[in-house]
Amino acid sequence: MRVVKSVSTMQRLARNWRRRGVRIGFVPTMGYLHAGHVSLIQRARRIAGKNGIVIVSIYVNPAQFGPAEDLSRYPRDFDRDWQLCRQAGADVIFAPNDAQMYPGQGEGRYSTYVVEERLSRSMEGQSRPTHFRGVTTIVAKLFNIVLPDAAVFGAKDFQQAAVIQRMVQDLNFPVKIVVAPTVRETDGLAMSSRNKYLDASQRPQATVLWKVIQRAKAAVKNSSRPLAAEKLRRELKAFIQRQPAARVDYIQFFDAQTFEPVRTVTGGTHIALAAFLGNTRLIDNGTL
């Protein structure tokens, strides 16, 4: 397995593979990989085929972190990531640094960003105002560098995947976007690199995100009529905040195509939520 750190080298390799008709599967990550990432890499391998190339990028993208967020302490362990990539069947790790990805940023010469203006307005876009601009910019750059036929994202970041799909559609990127199912711990907690932040008392409390999705599903299933979204939201928020370390950021019921909030909740409505467990912010989502 090869490690590439230079943008120009990665582009040259990708161009050569594309000229030869080699199929490229791509998994963009910020590293500190877990079983959820492994499932994405394995999916990319199935897409690329045994004669294709699977590329995993490992880059903690500063543009998607707000000023008060956890950029400096975001977990990193490249040696462990390398082992997991190799075991999962990756061929290349693309691991650039900030100077490669944002040349001249410190001198103010980097000034071009990609912005999606509709699906990114609510939920994560509202709580983290510059987040999606950073995500779409880095993914667009990575697509231009890696030149993938297909890129695999996880459904845990449901809004992010939708924003990227819209960007690809609107800007005519010749990339197929594959959204793979969320991988969970045995107790239901969605796998996330940030789970590492949870201490021994917070970790069991964090399962409340999954429990609240199941609670909402049960409420819809057991109701003979549509449920008022605001009333259900208040009930679920109270349920979460029974946990001593928990604080709700948002709970949203919305149409999964338009991302517009809905006033009534029925089967097929999507729920997304974000909550803090201590200082750790976690997200989850599901279809009711």
- Tokens standing for 160? 């992010």
Residue 208's identity, in one-letter code, is V
The rounded distance, in Å, linking the Cα atoms of 80 and 84 is: 6
State the Cα torsion 147-136-2-50 to the nearest 10°.
Answer: -50
DSSP state of 41: H
The Cα-based distances of 103 to 7, 15, 93, 99, 106 in angstroms read 11, 22, 20, 5, 8
Selecting among 34, 37, 131, 270, the annotated active-site residue is 37
| CA distances (Å), origin 209, targets 39, 169, 212, 221, 245 | 22, 31, 5, 19, 13
Q: What is the dihedral of CA 244, 206, 71, 148, to 10 degrees?
A: -160
Helix locations, the chain, DSSP H: 7-19, 35-48, 78-88, 98-101, 124-127, 131-146, 158-170, 202-205, 208-221, 229-240
The structure tokens listed for 181 are 């199912």
In terms of DSSP bridges, do strands 264-265 and 227-228 run parallel, antiparallel, or are they unpaired?
A: antiparallel
**DSSP secondary structure code for residue 271 in this structure:** E
Is 37 part of the annotated catalytic residue set?
yes
Query: How far is the C-alpha of 26 from the C-alpha of 146, rounded, in Å?
Result: 8
C-alpha distances out from residue 170 to 37, 112, 119, Å = 27, 17, 12
* CA dist., res. 30 & res. 95, Å (int): 10
Catalytically active residues are: 37
